[in-house]
Structure formats: C-alpha cells, structure tokens
Amino acid sequence: MRAITDSATMLRRQVKHIWRHPTLILTFAAVPVVFLLLFVYVFGGTMGAGIGAGRAAYVGYLVPGIMITTIMGAAQGTAISVASDMSEGIIARFKTMAIARVSVLTGHVLGAMVQTFLAIAMVGVVAALIGFRPSASVAGWLGVIGVLAVFTFAITWLAVALALVSKSVTTASNLPMPLMLLPFLGSGFVPTDSMPDVLRWFAERQPVTPVIETLRALLAGRPAGSGLLEAAVWSAGIALAGYLCARRLYNR
C-alpha cells in the first residue's frame, strides 16, 4: 500500500511537470506529425498504389506506424527526464527519505505514459483532419488503447533503464534513438513482403511489427488474430527486462 501511495505522489510530481511544460508534448508529437504529412502528401500516391489502394487508404495503413513512432520518440524524453533527475541530485535526496524506492521510477513511468498518450492523441487529431477514418468498434477501440498502453509501458521502462545506465544526460538522449528506426524496419510504412529477404526476415521477427499489425487490424474493424498474443508477449518481455534492469541500476 505504501508503494502505491508513494507512486501516486511521484506521479503527481510528473503531472505537474507536464502542466508547467506543455511544449514537451508538442515536441513529442511534432516529428510523428511531420512524418505523417510527409508520407501522405509526398509519398502517399506511390505508397498507396503499392498496397493496391490510393492515397486516402494509405493514411489508414500509415497511422498505426506513426503511433508507434510517437511512443519511441517519447521514450527519448523519458530517458532525458530520468537522467536529469539523477544528475541534479534529486534522486539522492529521495533515497534518504522514507518512501518506497520503486515509487520514484514508477512515477516517472506513469507520468511518461500520460505524456505519451497526449502526444498520440494530438497525432490522431492531425490524422483525422487529413482523412483517417477508422472503422473500429467499441471493443476494437478498447483493444487499441490496451495495446498502446502495454507497449508504451514496456518501452518506457526500457527508456528508464537506458537512462540509468547512461553517465550523462547527453548519453541518455542518444541511447533510445535507434528505437525510432524500428517502425521503418518493420511494417510501419510499407508491407514487409516488399522488402529484400534479409530485411524482411528481421522485420517480421522484431517486436514492433506485431504491435503495428494488431493496431492496424483493430482500427480497421478486423480480428487481431495471433498478432495480439505476439504483441502482448513482446510487451511483457520488454517491460520485465526494462524493470529488472532499472531496479538493479537504481538500487546500485
């Protein structure tokens, strides 16, 4: 119970930071929005033809990948936030207080999830303005929110671990950057069957692809199929590994 109460306190701390610095959300949403507009209006005609549809249909194909890109970009902000706390000494002060040790990192994770979902919502508004028309049912939307939540939770814990292993804020800002490439090296922007064999093999076996395919199916009103289980397993594995590494590094 104490850990829950202290985590809620740390979450309020992070929410206050979000309230005082709302431009951070705009920053997290800016790059995905640029990608969205670029791929729809510059490459959309060709990309749409490549999937057997037009530019309008390509918007629906693209949005799940852009959502995951938003999560990856927000992970960089999480790593910077945790590394800043470590370098400024506030963590050392927290360790001397009578609070649950796990609550400090949990507060960062939950606060980052709030921030990430706000950024995803902004990306969704832009997507709707340029023609995104999902046909998901109520259950489908709940599934979309659930998949986004568990994957965001997993990537955020991974970002916290990367921040704690870093020796400076600069290093922490750079370590999560390769995560931004995963949607491009998966099915985020083009079908995997259009890729060379080696790249296709990697794209179909990395964690981002089943998450994107599950979101794409749910938003289109189709059954998620086995991709949902695969996305859940990947998310659980990443979250567990990130949490265990972060806890060990933080305690050390």
Whole-number Å distance between alpha carbons of 46 and 57:
12
pLDDT at 7: 64
pLDDT at position 79 is 87
pLDDT of residue 143: 94
The most distant pair of C-alpha atoms in the chain lies apart, rounded to whole Å, by: 61
Tell me the H-state helices in 166-220: 169-174, 197-203, 208-219
pLDDT in tens, 227-251: 899 999 999 999 999 999 988 887 7
Question: Would you say 250 and 162 are in contact if contact means Cβ atoms under 8 Å apart?
Answer: no
Rounded-to-integer distance, Cα 51 and Cα 61, Å: 9
List the domain range (segments joined by +) for residue 29: 2-251
52-91 pLDDT tens trace: 677 778 888 999 999 999 999 989 888 888 887 777 766 6
Judge residue 198's burial from the number of C-beta atoms within 10 Å of its C-beta, 0-12 exposed, 13-18 middle, 19 or more buried. Answer: exposed
pLDDT of residue 28: 78
Other beta carbons less than 10 A from residue 185's beta carbon:
17
Q: How far apart are CA 176 and CA 93, in angstroms?
A: 27
Chain mean pLDDT for the chain = 85
- The domain tally of the chain equals 1
Q: Would you place residue 185 in the very low, low, confident or very high pLDDT band (cuts 50, 70, 90)?
A: very high
Distance CA 50, CA 83 (A): 43
The yes-or-no verdict on residue 50 having pLDDT over 90 is no
Which pLDDT score is estimated for 150? 96
Question: What pLDDT was estimated at residue 82?
Answer: 81
Give the mean model confidence (pLDDT) for residues 205-215.
94
pLDDT at 129: 93
Q: How many angstroms separate the CA atoms of 196 and 241, rounded?
A: 31
For residue range 80-138, list pLDDT tens digits in order.
888 877 777 666 666 666 666 667 788 888 888 988 999 999 999 999 999 889 988 99
Q: Length of the chain in residues, anyone?
A: 252
The whole-number pLDDT of residue 199 equals: 92
Residue 99 pLDDT: 64
Q: Averaged over 11-26, what is the pLDDT?
A: 71
Mean pLDDT value of segment 139-158: 95
